Amino acid sequence: MAPWAAHDRPFLDPAVVARLGTLELKARTIVEGFLSGLHRSPFKGFSVEFAEYRQYIPGDDLSTIDWKVFARSDRYYVKKFEEETNLDCHLMLDVSGSMGYGSHHAMSKFEYAAVLAASLAYLMNRQRDAVGLTAFDETIVQMLPASSRPGHLRAVLVTLDRLKTAHRTDVSKPLHLLAESLTKRGMVILISDLLDDADAVISGLKHFLYRGIDVIVFHVLDPDEIDFPFERATRFEDLETSDEVLAVPGAVRDHYLKALDAMVERYRRELGAVGIDYVQLNTKHPLELALLSYLSTRARAL
């Protein structure tokens, strides 16, 4: 069963999203559609501020209906609130060479990650959370401090749009740099394929925890990386190092999948043990699933 089957409408297929125009449009389409499909508003919090009235639609919480307005107009309206938060969210996007891989039937990992980052930024912006962006490969290549100013979202989206994949990965170094630079509690969202030394990555992520910062890790993998569907003897060239390995997939598939499973399982186990949400994403699966994970973690963080 598809992971989005329980919802009223299916989530957007990444292939469809990929054909949308700008990054902003992609993000808006995903987030708005995602939010409108939720049965229950996730915006309920300790401190809320009235935002607007909206006509009741089935599925809205009945407690939010403004009965006074109903008495005056004989129509159901619900009161919309916007949370007042001071959450700083930092999006860490991996732009190393390995993120550039994409099988023919889906977005590349980088495109997927960029849309995800844009969607998250859009969602955060709608929730008035401060959103920052850090792009890195073996070092930090682009950094926007967290801000909730109205124009900041556009700056984030433009930055995302201009990013290119290029160099080798060194996840831990940017993580430590960012961890050192953050002075306020908040949330860090790492979007990466984590094809790096696992010990270093986990160590870097733990650095945030020491500073009281919640972390979500979106581990982006291409379907080819998950299933290894190759059949013929193939010369595999490393996107970052250009090393070549000739292999007959039938002969190495089991070994590869075991190695991948071991890596994923390690991240899942060791990150979960310290309270870091680890979400494995398949680039052929809808992005909304990632948003759900974010919202769940955000709710816990507040």
Partner 1 sequence: MSFLSPLFLVGAAAAALPILLHLLKRDPDVRVKFAAVKLLKEAPVEQTERHRLRQLLLLTLRIAALVLLALAFARPFVPDGAAAAASRATIVALDTSFSLDAPGRFDRAKQLARSAIDRVPAGEAVGVVTFADEAAITAKPSGDRVLARSAVDEAAVGFGSTRYRAALSTAAQALGGRTGTIVLVTDLQEGGWDAGDRAVVPEGVAIELADVGEMPPNLAVVNVHSAGDRIVATIRNTGPSARDARVHVTIDGRPAGDATAALGPRQSGEVSFPAAPGRAAVVSVDDPGGVRADDTRYAVLEATRAAQVAVITGSGDLAREAFYAEHALAAGGARGYRPVGLSGATLASMPANGLNDYAAVVLVSTRGLDRHGRELLAGYVQSGGGLVLAAGPDVDGEVVADVLGHDAELRVSTVPGPSATPRAIAPADVRHPIFHPFASNAAALGLVTFRQAARVDGSGCQTIARFTTGEAALLDCSAGEGRGLVLASDLNNRWNDFPLHSTFVPFLHEAVRYVGSGRAQGSDYAVGDAPAGAPRRPGIATVADRQHAAPRTVAINVDPRESDPARLTPEEFQSAITHMKDAASAEARGEARQQEDRQHLWQYAIALMAIALVAEGWLAARTV
Binding segment (CB under 8 A) for partner 1, from list 6-14, 92-100, 268-276, 288-296:
92-100
Least distance from C-beta 257 to partner 1, angstroms? 9
> For residue 38, what are its two tokens?
């939720």
Comparing CB distances to partner 1, the nearer of 56 and 230 is: 230
CA-atom Rg of the chain in angstroms: 21
Instruction: Tell me how far apart the alpha carbons of residues 245 and 101 are, in angstroms, rounded to a whole number.
Output: 16
Query: Nearest-CA neighbor of 175 among 199, 149, 150?
Result: 199
Does 104 bind partner 1 (CB under 8 A)? Our answer is no
Among 35, 48, 200, 260, binds partner 1 (CB under 8 A): 260
Binding segment (CB under 8 A) for partner 1, from list 19-27, 64-72, 149-157, 217-225:
217-225
Does 200 bind partner 1 (CB under 8 A)? Our answer is no
Comparing CB distances to partner 1, the nearer of 40 and 235 is: 235
- Relative to beta strand 77-83, strand 48-55 is antiparallel
Does 109 bind partner 1 (CB under 8 A)? Our answer is yes
Among 241, 265, 274, 275, binds partner 1 (CB under 8 A): 241
Comparing CB distances to partner 1, the nearer of 97 and 186 is: 97
Q: Phi-psi bin for 285: left (phi > 0), alpha (psi -120 to 50), beta?
A: beta
Q: DSSP class of residue 11?
A: P
Residue 153 CB partners (closer than 8 Å, separation 6+)? 121, 122, 125, 131
Does 168 bind partner 1 (CB under 8 A)? Our answer is no
Binding mask 221-240 for partner 1 (x = CB under 8 A): -x-xx----x-xxxxxxxxx
Least distance from C-beta 237 to partner 1, angstroms? 5
Among 15, 51, 248, 299, binds partner 1 (CB under 8 A): 248
Phi, psi for residue 263 in degrees, rounded to 5: -65, -45
Does 255 bind partner 1 (CB under 8 A)? Our answer is yes
What CA dihedral angle connects 289, 93, 180 and 153, to 10 degrees? -80
Measured CA distances, 137 to 46, 92, 175, 200, 256 (Å): 39, 10, 11, 14, 24
Does 134 bind partner 1 (CB under 8 A)? Our answer is no
Does 256 bind partner 1 (CB under 8 A)? Our answer is yes
Burial (CB < 10 A; 0-12, 13-18, 19+), residue 189, is buried
Residues of this chain that interact with partner 1 (CB under 8 A) are: 97-101, 109, 193, 195, 222, 224-225, 230, 232-241, 243-248, 251-252, 255-256, 259-260, 263
